[in-house]
Structure 1
Amino acid sequence: RYSLTEKKMELIMVDLNVTRKDFLAMLCHVGLPGEMFTSAAPQDPTFWPLHGNAERYIQYLRILDANNTIEFNQTWGYEHQGAASDTDVVCDWSGVKNFTDMPACSKTECPGHKEDDLLPFKKLFPQQKDTLYTNAEFYDVVSPFNTKLPYAYE
């Protein structure tokens, strides 16, 4: 609400009937993920401007965690969330030959999400050469504390 004495907007937690911790949890919760929740997201032109901000946010969380300001769980794992855009299945499209064919789908996890899964990119960094990084190795390389990165988010 607007404070006449302070001449600015102020949030009164009592008015919301929630604790500060609950309020922050609500602000930080992803809610219902939308169209950019799937692996097809990079096909959406709006993905690319937004993706940089998401990466910046993750880097900031890693810094806050290292400074013991917050606890940011960085353990590896993947499980279906039961969200509207998550069908709990992975579909193999390799057998689809025309528009009337359907993919073979099974209740499993997408490959590529695990800590030791290999990324299909070579020569991203000079030290990489022709080897493939695992997800964990790449996560370490893009650490906000890596002084060899060519830039830092401010």
Structure 2
Amino acid sequence: MLFKNDEASLNLEIVNYEISEDSGAPDSDDRNWLVLRGTYTDEDGLVIRDSNSCLLTSELKGLTAGLKVLKAGIRNSYDSDFSEPYFLFSARTEVEDRYIVDVSFTLPNTMEDLENAELSCVMTTTELISLIDELDTLCKKFPDRK
């Protein structure tokens, strides 16, 4: 998931589940935490990378569904309500074919002075569709574990 504006970019990748499939108690959400890897590039070209287990598989599905509802015009905004506050996502319709997207990703393990990578950008409908397609693929790759 690449988000960028004229000054900075934030690329978020879901790289794996936090724990292996045979770990954790069955029917526990502990088995459904996903590891996000963020690569933030600021306006000066400084690149900061960090990972954080901060999104559940069910929240990934909810994000995908929320953006589909936004694109369909059923609602004019989406605001994440994830269990952990380390990844925040909101999107709203600005005008036809334009959406304002705000993303924040906490960088807990870096030695940089930057604690949160925050970015606001504009996406077109085509870009939003591409993001939804990417999220659909991730939902298939990382399904809920029972």
TM-score by length of 1: 0.28
Larger RCO: 1 or 2 (CA < 8 Å, sep 6+): 2
Larger helix percent: 1
Structure with the higher strand share, 1 or 2: 2
